[in-house]
């Protein structure tokens, strides 16, 4: 799992776990195809849909993180 940095645990993301939807931060240079491949291999699931966006910059922060949400079919 080179590209996925860590899982995000907020009130909303914990609620989405019940619907087989996972939220995590990944490396900034990752593509949607790479992220999908990592999730399918690591969790042994089929990714149905995926949403991603770049987090806004905060001051002089140089490394942008991607926040992803994967919807899986177990």
| pLDDT for position 39 | 84
Domains and CATH numbers, the chain: 4-73 (3.30.70.330)
Q: Who's near 51: CB < 8 A, 6+ residues apart?
A: 68, 69
pTM across the whole model:
0.60
> Residue 67 class from Cβ within 10 Å (0-12 exposed, 13-18 middle, 19+ buried)?
middle
| pLDDT for position 66 | 58
| pLDDT for position 5 | 83
Q: Are 72 and 45 spatial neighbours (Cβ–Cβ below 8 Å)?
A: yes
Per-residue model confidence as pLDDT tens for the chain (74 residues): 567 788 888 898 889 888 888 888 888 788 888 888 888 888 888 888 888 877 776 665 555 555 666 666 66
């Amino acid at each position: 799992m080179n590209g996925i940095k860590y899982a995000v645990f907020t009130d909303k993301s914990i609620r989405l776990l019940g619907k087989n939807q996972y939220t995590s931060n990944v490396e900034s240079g990752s593509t949607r195809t790479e992220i999908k491949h990592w999730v399918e291999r690591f969790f042994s699931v089929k990714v149905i849909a995926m949403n991603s966006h770049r987090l806004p910059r905060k001051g002089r922060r140089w490394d942008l993180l991607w926040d992803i949400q994967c919807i899986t079919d177990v």
